[in-house]
Amino acid sequence: MSLSLTAPALPDFPEISMSLLAMFLAAPAPGAGVPTPEKGAPAPLSDMVNTVLGLVAWAGTAAGVAGVLITGTMMTVSMKRGESSEHMSRLGMVLGGCILVATAGPVVGFVFGDGGQ
């Protein structure tokens, strides 16, 4: 049994280029028969996405309210004990998060949507 270590014969370059040219010429014109997708998501998918985004927005608002209440309680306890507190920076972070949650939809709509109209 003998093994052959010769490479298989490669097709001639002009044959390859001619076959590629024939495929190109046989292809349909650009835009002919190409499907155009509809703008927007299908209704069932859009409804599910709106439901999820609504739940996330509700959870963000609830977390913001809870954050303000917890920070206020911590400030009150610290004041009663006479301790100096750094709770104003925490309150600023919580309020910044609340502003971010409240303005996320309009900002994205302005940047990627209808220009704020």
- Taking only the tens place, the pLDDT of each residue in 94-108 is 999 999 988 888 888
Per DSSP, 12 falls in state P
Give pTM, 2 decimals.
0.56
Residue type for position 75 = M
Radius of gyration of the chain (CA): 32
113 pLDDT higher than 80:
no
* Residue 101 CB partners (closer than 8 Å, separation 6+): 57, 60, 61, 64
116 pLDDT higher than 50:
no
Residues composing the chain: 117
- Dist. CA 58–CA 72, nearest whole Å: 21
- Binning pLDDT at 50, 70 and 90, where does residue 64 land? very high
- Dist. CA 61–CA 95, nearest whole Å: 11
What token pair was written down for 52? 């999820």
Phi-psi region of 18 (alpha: psi -120 to 50; beta: other; left: phi over 0): alpha
